[in-house]
Amino acid sequence: MPQLTEIHIQSLQPLKTPFEGNSRKSLEIDLLKGEEHNDEFLNFIHDGFQNEQPKQFVEITVQELKIHQVNRGGKYPEKCFLWVIDSVSVKLIWEKTPNERRRASRPDRPYVCHTNITGSKSAYIGGEMYFCEDGNIYLNFSSDRYGVAATEENKKMAKQYIGDCGYKNIIRADNNL
Partner 1 sequence: MTMKNEIKNIFLLDDEFPKIEEFIERGVYGQAINADDLYHLALYENWGSLHYLKELIKDIVTSEPYKQGFINLIGYSNPELALSDIEDGITPHVIIYDWQYGQINDLNSQKWLLELINKSNAFIFIYSQIGETLPQYLNKKEFNQHSNRFQLFLKGSKSNSIFYSEEFILQFILMEVAESAKLKIHGLDIEFSKNNYLKQASDILYLERIFGRLNLLEEIKNVQFSLNDETIGKILESTNEFLYYSEEKKVLISPDNKSTIDKIQSLQKISFKQVADKFSIQKLEEALERGIALI
Interacting residues with partner 1 (CB under 8 A): 21-25, 29-30, 32-33, 40, 69, 72-75, 98-101, 103-108, 110, 141-144, 147-152, 155, 174-175, 177
Closest approach of partner 1 to the CB of residue 49, in Å: 26
End-to-end CA distance of the chain: 31
Closest approach of partner 1 to the CB of residue 139, in Å: 14
Cβ–Cβ < 8 Å for 116, 101:
no
Closest approach of partner 1 to the CB of residue 144, in Å: 5
d(CA 108, CA 154): 31
- Nearest CB to partner 1, comparing residues 103 and 121: 103
Comparing C-alpha atoms, which of 147, 107, 152, 116 is closest to residue 129? 147
Comparing C-alpha atoms, which of 141, 136, 137 is closest to residue 151? 141
Cβ–Cβ < 8 Å for 122, 87:
yes
Closest approach of partner 1 to the CB of residue 2, in Å: 27
CB atoms within 10 A of CB 46: 20
